[in-house]
């Protein structure tokens, strides 16, 4: 049964459903479509203005158009508005000279079914074995991914980071009491933020964010790539969905807080082109602004805002096994799933991965004396991938061991979640550790290497390198995998923290 997950060329939707990684899920036949909760009910739209700030009379403008402001990101001139009369609202708001474009507000859904493993009797292969709770996971050999990226911990000995450098993790939150994380979380729970309406803190109710944080800066029984850098959580997911504008706002907030690296182990598709809305009742068609789709504009402005403030932004490439250099296929997917009211013209991007200024990371399998390989779910494409990093899979083709989960990525999970820790507790004797796979697990490997390099430069010179300098360093020092030059699968190669610190 598990071997069926090893199929190559797997369809995008199937890959998304099988990989325990954060992503924008595909709309199902019975699911609400983009910005839509059903005919005659409230619909939400992202509105971008020509200026990088919101007009002083913006609330009155939206009200007069027949809408209501539900969320503002003033720093980049973006808001979300709701309306029960979409045709009238869109006709009115797109006629405003200050408005650049409009797009349906797309919900981002958390779609994370686990791989199907038996908890008992799965240690029949060649693996490091069961540990006592007092034993080091890092020293045992279970962390093949961190071993690859750090050259068996050699980079830790060169420079493991300091809290002068902070990684902001835009995700599901943290377990702030996790013994391998708490000393590196700058400001504790109060120093992190939530953007999920109805919540007041950034505690992790899902496990994804805690897992990402451990890969970056775990420092206890397990080790991250940069085990002494600082961490902050920017929670945009609870256990379900999020609006894109929350993620956009989190990017701005992290930049304003002065983080040095933003990790976004999330992604989806957006239109780089034109949206149209057709009223179901009358057939009247409205063009939603110019050819700069509002949602892509919002992402680009947010990334630019962060980069201008010297923040290195890292994103996962996505888990749909698609060629990112062929956006026409992605646009066809959006048009086929956006619902009868919407039509798109132009190409589609994977975002935030395809936004200029982002370091985009594909996922690799490997470890335990097996060869490097592109993970079966990972997106790829000429010019689309900057670096590869371990993201995990179920082992090389033909591997039938009962311990194939070891080829996934091991990291921290919330200690208060028995279900997330069940497999880890069986092996390590306590809650707080678990395996996941996805480009979500690859991105933090690069974020950790970036943070270690920034910290080293700052310690030696008193100043921090620019995002472009960080990206160049990581690319120039990467381990070439399948070719001496650029690879459509791994970009400039597998990230190598040791070479980044010593070359």
Cα R_g (the chain), whole angstroms: 22
Least Cα distance to 107 among 34, 30, 16 occurs for 34
Among candidate residues 178, 208, 211, 492, the one labeled active-site is: 208
304 is catalytic: no
Among candidate residues 440, 455, 477, 487, the one labeled active-site is: 440
Beta strands in 368-443 (DSSP E): 370-374, 387-390, 409-412, 433-436
Do 387 and 376 contact (CB within 8 A), yes or no?
A: no
Q: What is the pLDDT along the chain (503 residues), one digit of tens a residue?
A: 333 333 333 233 223 323 333 433 333 333 333 444 444 578 999 999 999 999 999 999 999 999 999 999 999 999 999 999 999 999 999 999 999 999 888 777 665 535 555 555 566 778 999 999 999 999 999 999 999 999 999 999 999 999 999 999 999 999 999 999 999 999 999 999 999 988 999 999 999 999 999 999 999 999 999 999 999 999 999 877 788 899 999 999 999 999 999 999 987 777 677 788 889 889 999 988 776 788 889 999 999 999 999 999 999 998 888 888 876 655 555 555 556 787 777 776 777 888 889 999 999 999 999 999 999 989 999 999 999 999 999 999 999 888 999 999 999 999 999 888 888 999 999 999 999 999 999 999 999 999 999 999 999 999 999 999 999 999 999 999 998 899 999 999 999 999 999 98
Retrieve residue 106's tokens: 């797309």
Domains and CATH numbers, the chain: 2-27+130-502 (3.40.50.200), 43-105 (3.30.70.80)
Calpha distance 271→356 (Å, rounded): 15
pLDDT at 339: 62
Full-model pTM: 0.90
482 is catalytic: no
Among candidate residues 145, 171, 257, 404, the one labeled active-site is: 171
* DSSP calls for 350-391: EETTTSTTEEEEEEEEEETTEEEEE-TT--B-TTT--EEEE-
Least Cα distance to 103 among 337, 273, 251 occurs for 273
DSSP single-letter state for residue 380: B
What residues does 417 pair with on adjacent strands? Answer: none
202 is catalytic: no
CA 285 to chain centre: 35
Retrieve residue 288's tokens: 């939603």
**Cα end-to-end distance, the chain, whole Å:** 45
pLDDT at 11: 30
Calpha distance 137→433 (Å, rounded): 10
């Amino acid at each position: 049964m598990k071997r069926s997950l090893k199929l190559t060329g797997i369809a995008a939707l199937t890959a998304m459903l099988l990989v325990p990684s954060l992503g924008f899920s595909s709309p199902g036949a019975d699911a609400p479509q983009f910005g839509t909760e059903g005919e005659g009910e409230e619909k939400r739209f992202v509105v971008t203005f020509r200026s990088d700030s919101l007009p002083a009379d913006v609330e009155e403008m939206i009200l007069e158009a027949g809408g209501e402001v539900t969320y503002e990101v003033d720093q980049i001139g973006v808001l979300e508005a709701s309306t029960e009369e979409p045709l009238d609202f869109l006709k009115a708001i797109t006629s405003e000279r200050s408005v650049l474009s409009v797009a349906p507000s797309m919900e981002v859904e958390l779609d994370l079914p686990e791989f199907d493993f038996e908890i008992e009797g799965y240690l029949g292969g060649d693996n490091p074995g069961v540990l006592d709770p007092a034993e080091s996971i890092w020293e045992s050999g279970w962390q093949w991914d961190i071993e690859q990226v750090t050259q068996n911990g050699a980079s830790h000995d060169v420079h493991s980071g300091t809290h002068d450098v902070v990684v902001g993790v835009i995700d599901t939150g943290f377990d702030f009491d996790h013994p391998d994380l708490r000393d590196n979380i700058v400001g504790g729970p109060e120093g992190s933020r939530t953007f999920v309406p109805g919540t007041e803190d950034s505690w992790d109710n899902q496990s994804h964010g805690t897992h990402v944080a451990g890969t970056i800066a775990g420092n206890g029984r397990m080790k991250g790539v940069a085990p002494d850098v600082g961490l902050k959580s920017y929670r945009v997911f609870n256990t379900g969905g999020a609006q894109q504008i929350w993620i956009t706002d989190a990017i701005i907030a992290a930049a304003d807080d002065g983080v040095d690296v933003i990790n976004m182990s999330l992604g989806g598709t957006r239109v780089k082109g034109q949206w149209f809305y057709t009223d179901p009742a009358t057939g009247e068609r409205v063009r939603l602004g110019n050819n700069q789709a509002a949602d892509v504009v919002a992402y680009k402005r947010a990334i630019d805002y962060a980069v201008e403030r010297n923040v290195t932004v890292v994103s996962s490439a996505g888990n749909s096994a698609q060629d990112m250099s062929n956006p026409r296929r992605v646009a066809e997917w959006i048009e086929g799933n956006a619902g009868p009211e919407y039509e798109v013209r132009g190409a589609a991007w994977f975002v935030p991965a395809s936004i200029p200024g982002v370091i985009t990371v594909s996922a690799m399998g490997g470890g335990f004396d097996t060869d490097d390989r592109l993970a079966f779910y990972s997106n790829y494409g000429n010019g689309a991938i900057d670096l590869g990093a371990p993201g995990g899979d179920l082992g090389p083709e033909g591997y039938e061991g009962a311990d194939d989960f070891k080829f996934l990525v091991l990291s921290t999970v919330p200690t208060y979640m028995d279900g997330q820790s069940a497999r880890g507790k069986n092996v390590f004797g306590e809650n707080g550790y678990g395996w996941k796979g996805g480009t979500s697990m690859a991105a933090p490997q690069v974020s950790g290497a970036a943070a270690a390099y920034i910290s080293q430069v700052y310690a030696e010179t008193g100043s921090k390198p620019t995002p472009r300098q960080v990206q160049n360093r990581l690319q120039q020092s990467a381990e070439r995998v399948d070719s001496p030059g650029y690879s459509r699968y791994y970009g400039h190669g597998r990230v190598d923290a040791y070479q980044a610190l010593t070359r």
